[in-house]
């Protein structure tokens, strides 16, 4: 399985449009190689370089397994967004207080859809995915202010 973005290269700079300094919308994600047996996909975007520890920017699950892309500034129909470190659902773009940070987009193919409440956090999602991950893929982007 693979996740890419036409908006930035792997380990490349995330354009300002997708950060708190711009429109604060998610970049386009292109998904390929999803296992045929996948029931859904899940996505977690986080920043392990945050001063207070890992900062979660986006939590999405029950993405349809046939989804080949997530358009910029959108969420796939039928998917659910969980609570980020910003304390609310939805995408929260890179906004490092200082220095350059790495942002990990982690995509998971799961063998079943997840029945989780909308106040689910990344930790809750990770716990629910245990034993259900068929494949995973990642993409890293960087941003500094």
Q: What's the pLDDT tens digit per position in 106-142?
A: 999 999 999 999 899 999 999 999 999 999 999 999 9
The domains found in the chain, sorted by start residue, are 2-144 (3.90.280.10)
Whole-model pTM: value is 0.97
**CA-to-CA distance for 48 and 45, rounded, in angstroms?**
10
Mean pLDDT, residues 10-29: 98
């Amino acid at each position: 399985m693979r996740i890419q973005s036409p908006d930035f290269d792997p380990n490349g700079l995330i354009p300002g449009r997708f950060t708190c300094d711009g429109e604060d919308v998610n970049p386009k994600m292109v998904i390929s190689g999803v296992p045929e047996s996948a029931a859904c996909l899940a996505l977690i975007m986080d920043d392990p370089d945050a001063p207070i520890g890992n900062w979660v920017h986006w939590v999405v699950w029950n993405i349809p397994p046939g989804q080949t892309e997530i358009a910029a500034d959108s969420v796939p129909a039928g998917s659910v967004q969980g609570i980020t470190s910003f304390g609310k659902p939805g995408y929260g773009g890179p906004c490092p207080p200082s220095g350059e940070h790495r942002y990990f987009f982690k995509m998971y193919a799961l063998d079943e859809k997840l029945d989780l409440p909308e106040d689910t956090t990344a930790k809750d999602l990770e716990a629910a995915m245990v034993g259900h991950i068929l494949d995973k893929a990642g993409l890293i982007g960087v941003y500094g202010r």
